[in-house]
Amino acid sequence: MTIVREPVWDDAPRSKAQGVVRRLTSVLSALGLAAKIALASIASFPAVLCRRSGRADFANQLYVTGIRTLPVITVVSLFTGMILALQVGLELRRFNQEMYLGAAVMISLVREMGPFSCGMCLVACVGSAIAAELGTMKINDEIAALEIMSISPIRYLAAPRIFALVVMAPLLAFFCCVVGVVGGGIVGSTQLGVDFRQYVSSAMGIAKTKDLFVGLFKAGVFGLVVGTVSVSEGFGTSLGATGVGRSTQRSVIAGFLLILMLGYMITRAFYR
C-alpha cells in the first residue's frame, strides 16, 4: 500500500462553494485513507506476530503505550475518582444517601469515565507522539525509502503501533477504574464520613459483568481510533517541520472528537 494523500491543489479556490467542496473532498479523502490504514493494519496483525522483528517492535510499542503512560494515567484516574466522589457525595449528603457513593462512582468509572480518561491520555501521550514520529519520517523520505525497498510501511510501522494500542487500551481502562475507585474511597472516608468497607461493598454490589465488558470494548475501540488517526495523520504529513506540527495537532483534535462521539454512540447502543 503506497502512502499518498490526495487530492492536493496548488491554486486557490475561485469561490466559497469551490472552497467548501475542496474541504469536504479533503475530509472524505482523509477518512478514506484512515479506513484503508485501519483495515490494512488489522490484516497485517498476524504477520507482525509471525516475524521475530515484528514481535520485537510490538513488544516495544506495548512498553511505550502501557508502561510509559502509567504515571500520567494513574494521576488522571486517581483525581477523576476523587472529583466524582466529592461532587456526587456532596449531593448525596443532602438526602442522607452517602451509602450509595461507591455505587455511583463505580458505575460512572466503569461505563464511561474510565475508558474516556484512558482514551484522552492515550491521545495526548501516545497518539501525538506517533503522529510526530511518522510525520518526521515522512518529511525525511524514510517512508518513501521503505516503499522503494518493497517494505510495507503499514506492516512495518503502522500495524505494531495500532495493535499495541488496541491491546493495551482495555488494560489501561481497567487500571483507570481500579485507581479511580480507590481515589473515590479515599475522599469518601476522609471528607464525607463514608466507611471505606461500606464504600467498597456498595461499589462491588452495583457492578455488573455487562458494564465491565462494555467499558473494555469501548476502550479497545478508542485504542483503534487513536492509533488509526495518529498513523494516518503522520503518513499524510507535508510542508516540512510546520506540517509535522499541524499533523500532530490534527491527530490530537480528531482523536478527542472521535472519542467523545464514539463514546456516546457505544453507550447508546448498549444501554437503551
DSSP 206-228: H--HHHHHHHHHHHHHHHHHHHH
Structure confidence at residue 176 (pLDDT) = 94
Instruction: Give a yes or no: residue 68 inside a domain.
Output: yes
Owning domain of residue 105:
16-270
Indicate whether 212 belongs to any domain. Answer: yes
Within a domain: 27:
yes
Q: Please report whether residue 195 resides in a domain.
A: yes
For residue 4, tell me if it sits in a domain.
no
Q: Is pLDDT of 76 > 50? A: yes
Q: Is residue 238 part of a domain?
A: yes
Which positions ≥6 away from 164 have C-beta within 8 Å?
A: 58, 61, 62, 64, 65, 66, 227
CA distances for 262 relative to 216, 244, 268, 272, angstroms: 14, 26, 10, 16
Q: What is the pTM of this model?
A: 0.87
Averaged pLDDT, 23-28: 77
Q: Are 252 and 19 in contact (CB under 8 A)?
A: no
Instruction: Tell me the pLDDT tens digit for each residue of 119-155.
Output: 999 999 999 999 999 999 989 888 888 888 888 888 8
Structural domain includes residue 164: yes
In a domain, 70, yes or no: yes
Instruction: Count how many domains the chain has.
Output: 1
